């Protein structure tokens, strides 16, 4: 398969978990390189549904190695809990999961601060997952973070933690929050360190050695292009680089070791949390929600829904250098009589064919739609390109053409076999 970066082309929740799972078959190693427990990758194997937040979904397949890279922010308690859940379901973790010693930790004060700041924002909420992601990355950038290597250092960790708790308790006080107990957090951290210690390694060196030996690596992106801290709809973004470049910095694998970039996009658009969304459509949201679709995997929140936005998707293809695309949730559109694709924006009477950097401009953009007829039949049973109705094929070809990338995978349902590969 060669070394592949998989990224989301929209605002996250593109159905990456399923595509990662099917691509994992051809990979030896699966790597998470950014984000944290804010992600929620849903994978369905047989009758069992798994929702993974930190552990790469490669863990569900025997003989695959998984890495949580240096760019991830790791909540040690959430990770221990996820490992426990996996083991309870019979999934082997030890010997398969490698945790970067350099990854930063999400600590209890990060979670509290995330929640406090969201509450204080009132009308300007970001709609974060409240998993402490922003405050943890802020500490990393401020060089006041604690890392996995600190957590497992029994001698040095207590003093480092004490200092961090002291400083953060002072901040929490300004929000009217109760102070955290150093003794309690230390005891919890010690217990988590005990479970995680055997998994910790220098993943940068380990990964590069594996690549030298000819192993194939799949980098599973979390969140999506427009949640990227640099390229997304700031400040309504997450705090990491969700785009292809983030896979390299977050793993220590150089760009010239990457062979291809696969972008995952839904056949329509969704977004959780706040921020501009030009093609948002209540009608489409009502339809998808009534089908039981489009509720967040991490928070259970109903996702905002809208028509496929080719302006955004084309921009994502450019930033990520997408060679190929996977289109998911095609079956969500099966019942519609007519479909809309946004092919441009109109901003203050002028036509735009790109995403404006200014958030207020994006919020003021009116979509210019191209309408296509629906296919009005189920695609859930399609297993080859030819099985798809002509209208669905035309819709997919239009999307790929507008994005300027090769259509490689179409997903027509959550199960592994509801996947069409195009050669």
Binding footprint of ligand IMP on the chain (CB under 6 A):
12-13, 38-40, 126-129, 131, 133-134, 222-223, 227, 236, 238-239, 272-273
- In the complex with ligand IMP, the residue whose CB is nearer, 40 or 76, is 40
Least Å distance, CB 56 to ligand IMP, is: 14
CB-CB neighbours of 325 under 10 Å: 26
Q: Which residue is nearest to ligand IMP (CB)?
A: 273
Nearest to 201 by CA among 106, 97, 107: 97
Instruction: Provide the angle, in degrees to the nearest 10, between the axes of the packed helices 390-403 and 310-320.
Output: 50
Q: Annotated catalytic residue: which of 13, 139, 228, 331? A: 13
As a whole number of angstroms, the distance between CA 383 and CA 74 comes to 38
| CB 171 to ligand IMP: min, Å | 17
d(CA 359, CA 276): 7
Tell me whether residue 54 or residue 382 sits nearer to ligand IMP (CB atom). 54
CB of 405 to ligand IMP, least distance (A): 21
Q: What is the Cα–Cα distance from 50 to 42, expressed in whole angstroms?
A: 6
* Closest distance to ligand IMP from the beta carbon of 349 (Å): 30
Structure tokens that stand for 230 in this block:
């640099």
Residues 194/61, Cβ–Cβ less than 8 Å: no
Q: Among this protein's residues, is 331 annotated catalytic?
A: no
Q: Which is nearer to ligand IMP, 277 or 307 (CB)?
A: 277
Closer to ligand IMP by CB, 101 or 294: give it. Answer: 294
Compute the distance between CA of residue 332 and CA of residue 309 in angstroms, rounded to an integer: 16
**Complex with ligand IMP: residue 228 or 324, whichever CB lies closer:** 228
Whether 289 is catalytic = no
Query: At its nearest, how many Å lie between ligand IMP and the CB of residue 13?
Result: 5
Q: Which of 41, 98, 104, 315 is catalytic?
A: 41
Separation between Cα atoms, residue 188 and residue 55, nearest integer Å: 20
- Token output for 412: 């027509």
Q: Which of 274, 158, 258 is nearest to 208 (CA)?
A: 258
Catalytic residues: 13, 41
């Amino acid at each position: 398969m060669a070394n592949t970066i998989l990224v989301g082309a929209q605002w996250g929740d593109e159905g990456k978990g399923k595509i990662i799972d099917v691509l994992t078959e051809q990979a030896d190693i699966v790597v998470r390189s950014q984000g944290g427990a804010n992600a929620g990758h849903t994978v369905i194997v047989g009758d069992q549904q798994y929702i993974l937040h930190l552990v790469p979904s490669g863990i569900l397949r025997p003989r695959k190695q998984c890495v949580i890279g240096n760019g991830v922010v790791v909540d040690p308690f959430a990770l221990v809990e996820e490992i426990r859940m996996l083991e309870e379901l019979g999934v082997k973790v030890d010997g398969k999961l490698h945790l970067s010693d350099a990854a930063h930790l999400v600590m209890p004060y990060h979670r509290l601060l995330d929640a406090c700041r969201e509450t204080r924002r009132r009308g300007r909420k970001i709609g974060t997952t409240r998993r402490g992601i922003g405050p943890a990355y802020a500490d990393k950038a401020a060089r006041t973070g604690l890392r996995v290597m600190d957590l497992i250092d029994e001698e040095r960790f207590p003093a480092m933690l004490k200092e961090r708790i002291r400083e953060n308790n002072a901040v929490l006080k300004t929000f009217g929050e109760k102070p955290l107990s150093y003794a309690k957090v230390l005891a919890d951290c010690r217990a988590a360190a005990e479970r995680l210690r055997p998994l910790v390694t220098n993943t940068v060196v380990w990964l590069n050695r594996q690549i030298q030996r000819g192993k194939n690596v799949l980098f599973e992106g979390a969140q999506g292009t427009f949640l990227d801290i640099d390229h997304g709809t700031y400040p309504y973004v997450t705090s990491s680089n969700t785009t292809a470049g983030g896979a390299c910095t977050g793993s220590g694998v150089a760009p010239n070791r990457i062979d291809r970039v696969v972008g995952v996009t839904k056949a329509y658009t969704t977004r959780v949390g706040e921020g501009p969304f030009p093609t948002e459509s209540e009608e489409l949201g009502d339809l998808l929600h009534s089908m039981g679709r489009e509720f967040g995997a991490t928070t259970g929140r109903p996702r905002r829904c809208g028509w496929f936005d080719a302006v955004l998707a084309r921009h994502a293809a450019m930033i990520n250098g997408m060679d190929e695309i996977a289109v998911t949730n095609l079956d969500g559109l099966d019942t519609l009589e007519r479909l809309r694709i946004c092919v441009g924006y109109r901003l203050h009477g002028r036509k735009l064919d790109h995403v404006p950097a200014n958030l207020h401009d994006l919020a003021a953009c009116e979509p210019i739609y191209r309408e296509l007829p629906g296919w009005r039949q189920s695609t859930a049973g399609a297993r080859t390109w030819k099985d798809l109705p002509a209208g669905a094929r035309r819709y997919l070809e239009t999307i790929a053409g507008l994005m300027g990338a090769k259509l490689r995978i179409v997903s027509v349902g959550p199960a592994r076999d509801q996947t069409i590969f195009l050669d």
